Amino acid sequence: PVAQQPRLTVIGTGYLGATHAVSMAVLGYEVLGVDVDPAKVDALVAGRVPFHEPGLPEKLAEALASGRLRFSSSMQEAAEFGDVHFVCVGTPQQRGSNAADLTYVDGAFRELASHITRRALVVGKSTVPVGTAARLAALVREVAPAGADVEVAWNPEFLREGYAVQDTLHPDRLVFGVESPWAEAQLRAAFRPVLDEGTPLVVADLPTSELVKVAANSFLATKISFINAMAEICEATGADVSLLASALSHDTRIGGRFLKPGLGFGGGCLPKDIRAFSARADELGVGQAVRFLDEVDAINLRRRQRTVDLVAELVDGDLAGKKVAALGAAFKPNSDDIRDAPALDVARMLRDAGAIVTVYDPEAMANAARVRPELRYAPSLTAAVVDADVVVLLTEWQQFRDADPEDLGALVHTRRIVDGRHALDADRYRAAGWEYRALGRPV
């Protein structure tokens, strides 16, 4: 029988898991969040979200107050509590390889299954190489105690940082990868309020559901690199990629989203997902089918060097000893995430080229300073730009968009700016006496 209102556990309370646990409790489910890291558990129990995500602290408070959300570090407790378990642990890039590191996923499935003594569904949400779910299903059957009745399903997650709560409560679609009607019914019950809103649902097999996720992220990465490849062509021809992107975007078959040229993509997902996909396709003997993803990656990384080159051009080719104000460190605005952040990478490259780089980011300073202690950090936007020979915008925070070119101009040594994200009004900056440069745009 399908539990009318299944009790849910969420294994792993990082970005994805914390958001999922909180959102499901807000939707009315009894939820137990589990993490091996007692510091994370303690923070969440105390109502603190250990990362920056707009709206999530308020929802956490609401969920805790409802009494429906609890946290624990006991997998045994999770196994006893849950009808449906969501595994939300990370799959980072392996050291020294492009493949995904499945240590945490394998460990979570193995440990959870070893404690389950009843009928339960274990649902993977992590992004994994296709074929992992079937392997985990076999693993679970092997390690679950006699008498347990455990099935594995897959439910890829498409949330964006900065919009995590909204994307979880009102996703564009749900995808269930299942091996039985029972598993589908369990998942339907676990997402009832979301489905009742009319959210499109695709019910698929395990490998298709795993692939949906990497295919979606590959498509998005390709779209970004496509327009950035056009930016390279623009740079060789005097054309303007922002006008090109705007004209393309009016074709409803193309659309303007993820067609924003600039410094390119970063973060904990897109870069490692396309690399892992390419590595997995090689293992499967079909690497050729996604060889273009290697090019997508290469185009993306070239934008970082191009940004450094633009900054150098503005200071007559010699970065040595030049004061550079680097605006932004996070991989995108409204996030404190600096994993594979193009911004921080460019700041590092500028420093390696001899520049004196001062970084400011509204939220990511602590994370940035931990990873790149060799850079200088300023406590505010204005402090960062004081005396700068050149300013480079690397993450398009609203605060940077809103800055007044006259006010900034009064602080810098020389009015020179590279807009790495096409986020500023070039005309306003030029009118205020700035030398303005942007990737893929003519001087």
Interface contacts to ligand UGA, rule CB under 6 A: 127, 157-161, 217, 220, 224, 258-260, 262, 264-267, 269-270, 331-332
Residue 222: other Cβ atoms inside 10 A: 18
Shortest separation between residue 300's beta carbon and ligand UGA, angstroms: 8
**Residue 378: other Cβ atoms inside 10 A:** 18
Smaller CB separation from ligand UGA, 6 or 156: 156
Measured from the CB of residue 263, what is the shortest distance to ligand UGA in angstroms? 7
Closer residue to ligand UGA (CB): 52 or 332:
332
Q: What is the pairing mode between strands 323-327 and 84-87?
A: unpaired
Least distance to ligand UGA, CB of residue 267, Å: 4
Judged by beta carbon, residue 36 or residue 216, the one nearer ligand UGA is 216
Q: Is the dihedral of CA 419, 422, 427, 428 positive or negative?
A: negative
Minimum Å gap between C-beta 160 and ligand UGA is 4
Q: Which is nearer to ligand UGA, 95 or 257 (CB)?
A: 257
Cβ 161 to ligand UGA shortest distance, Å: 4
Q: Which of 60, 174, 269, 417 is catalytic?
A: 269
Cβ atoms of 56 and 336 closer than 8 Å: no
> In the annotation, is 269 catalytic?
yes
Nearer to ligand UGA among residue 217 and residue 358 (C-beta): 217
User: Nearer Cβ to ligand UGA, position 220 or 417?
Assistant: 220
Beta-bridge partner residues of 121: 84, 151
> Residue 203, exposed/middle/buried by CB under 10 A (0-12, 13-18, 19+)?
middle
Tell the smallest beta-carbon distance from residue 284 to ligand UGA (Å): 21
For residue 35, which amino acid is it? D
CA distance 385 to 289: 46
Whether the Cβ atoms of residue 399 and residue 405 lie closer than 8 Å to each other: no
List residues with catalytic annotation: 269
